[in-house]
Amino acid sequence: MAEKVLRKAESFYPLYERKGGAAPDVTHYCPGCGHGVLHKLIAEAIDDFGIRERTILISPVGCSVFAYYYFRVGNIQAPHGRAPAVATGIKRVYPESIVISYQGDGDLAAIGGNNILQAANRGEKISVFFVNNAIYGMTGGQMAPTTLIGQKTTTSPLGRRASNEGYPMRMSELIATLEAPIYVERVALTDAKNTTKVRRAVRKALKNQIENKGFSFVEVLSICPSGWKMEPTQAKEWLTQEMMRIFPLGVYKDRSDEIEEAGVQPTVFSAQDLQDSLNLPETDSASAKREPKTGVPEKYRNPRLKIAGFGGQGVLILGVGIAQAGMDDGYHVSWLPSYGPEMRGGTANCSVNLSSRIIGSPLVTQPTVLVAMNLPSLEKFEKDVAPGGLILTDSSLVDRAPSRTDIEHLGVPATKLADELGNTRVANLVMLGAYIAYTGVLDKDVVHSSLPRFIKRKALIDLNKQAIQKGMEFVSHQVKA
């Protein structure tokens, strides 16, 4: 028995070579510090559970920043406070691993406060060991979020004042209020009796993870004789008398027994064909090697379109439709929306380019075609239209013709025609029909075959075809007239 106690855990490196220096067989922790004891309890538990080879320890910033000197496991050192986020990342990659987030009070309760709460709230299947010694030890004894009222530190030289620094943070209590964590306990490294409880809590937190049950959190009150500037015995006395009053020991939450032990499925990536999963186009699409339509009148060729209207008129989808059909017809195309708050009410517009050449600027600053679905759009963009350009207006809503005389204008009562089909919202596709009929840039057949790629609701395809037809018929009547 005595031999077993004295033997160093297998889960510690036999020699602390990463630490190096003159004494690679002892830790860097100060005499009396609780980290060494907690390390030992964790290492022994890892040994006893036989999980050393699949354990990954996240070292934080703080006194335990060098935990990786000692634990003979997979080691990752994390930025200050971020151990729970780093633990989340690696645990999601290796669900069968045992991930330990080992943190101090500054790391966990101050700079990383949100990270621990959110990891707990997600129920990450990790084990968190939180050493609370009410002070920043590594940086030389500054105030921690867990520093007691009246406690003097180098940054609270007169003692912590609630009026200035608030109250000590009770992390176990806080985390226990969350739904997802399955086990939250506060223990203390003081006498043998309490240390036994620490040992038990460490094992429980690891066992919960081995059984794939959920998030476990063990807060360990620990002395810091150097930071507190006390002898170890005096420090233990202070911890018992003062700290435990503010941080009562006990189990704050335990659902470990309610949760079924679950097996872990190592991540297997779907063998499903990526082409299907990613909705990639078929290799032999009919559109693959088309040449753009020929015989388009010179002035309508390679159009640069600005399409504008108010939100809900479907101006963006009209632009996508022209770009999609253009691409399917063998054009180089680009579509660029105005985006952001503009889209949520108010006006929307997009730039569309169709060209037989590679497209330079995707922004249309000097459109050869302006589609103005409402009056503000005409007012805003009329001046930008290239001389000789074409302006299409929804004449049901825009009650005036453009004031420019160096452009061509076609008024299309798109909204009225859409209403005749029983759906105002297809005014955009009426306009599309009018545009292609008037300019000949695209054929109806191409647009029809492109429809399913930009109108996601199959039930609306027929209605949209009728809308295109309406627009085209309007133009042919106009031309005859």
Partner 1 sequence: MAKQLIKGNEAVVKGAILAGCRYYFGYPITPASEIAEAAAFYMPRVGGTFLQAESEIASINMVYGAASGGVRAMTASSSPGISLKQEGISYAAGSELPLVIVDISRGGPGLGNIAPEQSDYNQIVKGGGHGNYKLIVLAPNSAQEMCDLTMLAFELADKYRNPVCVLADGFIGQMMEPVEFPKPVTELEDKPWAVHADAEDENKLISSIELEPERLEAHNRKLQQKYAEIQQAEIRSEAYLTDDAEIVLMGYGVVSRILQSAVDQLREEGYRVGLFRPITLWPFPDPQIKRLADRAKKFLVVEMSNGQMVEDVRLVIQGRIPVHFYNRMGGMAPSPEEIREQVIKLFEA
Q: Which parts of 415-454 interact with partner 1 (CB under 8 A)?
A: 453-454
Q: Annotate 177-241 with DSSP letters as a single string.
A: TSSS--EEEEEE-SSHHHHHHHHHHHHHHHHHHHTT---EEEEEE---HHHHT--HHHHHHHIII
By the rule CB under 8 A, 476 interacts with partner 1: no
Amino acid making up residue 38: L
By the rule CB under 8 A, 182 interacts with partner 1: no
By the rule CB under 8 A, 113 interacts with partner 1: no
Contact 329, 293 (CB under 8 A): yes
- What is the SS3 assignment for 336? strand
Q: Residues binding partner 1: what is the number (CB under 8 A)?
A: 73
Candidates 41-49, 233-241, 268-276, 375-383: pick the segment binding partner 1 (CB under 8 A): 268-276
Phi, psi of 334 (to 5 degrees): -145, 150
Which is nearer to partner 1, 67 or 169 (by Cβ)?
A: 67
Please name which of 430, 386, 425 lies closest in space to residue 411, comparing C-alpha atoms. Answer: 430
Cα distances (Å, whole numbers) of residue 141 to 136, 152, 469: 5, 9, 79
By the rule CB under 8 A, 263 interacts with partner 1: no
CB count, 10 Å around CB of 245? 9
Strand residues in 413-478 grouped as ranges (E): none
Amino acid making up residue 347: T
By the rule CB under 8 A, 67 interacts with partner 1: no
Q: Which residues contact 286 (CB under 8 A, 6 or more apart)?
A: 449
Which is nearer to partner 1, 164 or 270 (by Cβ)?
A: 270
By the rule CB under 8 A, 265 interacts with partner 1: no
What's the token pair of residue 177? 């209020």
Candidates 72-80, 201-209, 432-440, 469-477: pick the segment binding partner 1 (CB under 8 A): 72-80
Q: Judged by CB under 8 A, which of 269, 291, 477, 480 binds partner 1?
A: 269
CA distance 330 to 451: 16
For residue 255, the minimal CB distance to partner 1 (Å) is 23
**Near partner 1 in 360-379, by CB under 8 A:** 360-363, 365-366
By the rule CB under 8 A, 478 interacts with partner 1: no
By the rule CB under 8 A, 270 interacts with partner 1: yes
For residue 81, the minimal CB distance to partner 1 (Å) is 8
Encoded one letter per residue, x for contact with partner 1 by CB under 8 A and - for no contact, window 78-97 reads xx--x--xxxxxxxxxx-xx
By the rule CB under 8 A, 48 interacts with partner 1: no
Phi, psi of 296 (to 5 degrees): -75, 135
By the rule CB under 8 A, 26 interacts with partner 1: no
**Near partner 1 in 143-172, by CB under 8 A:** none
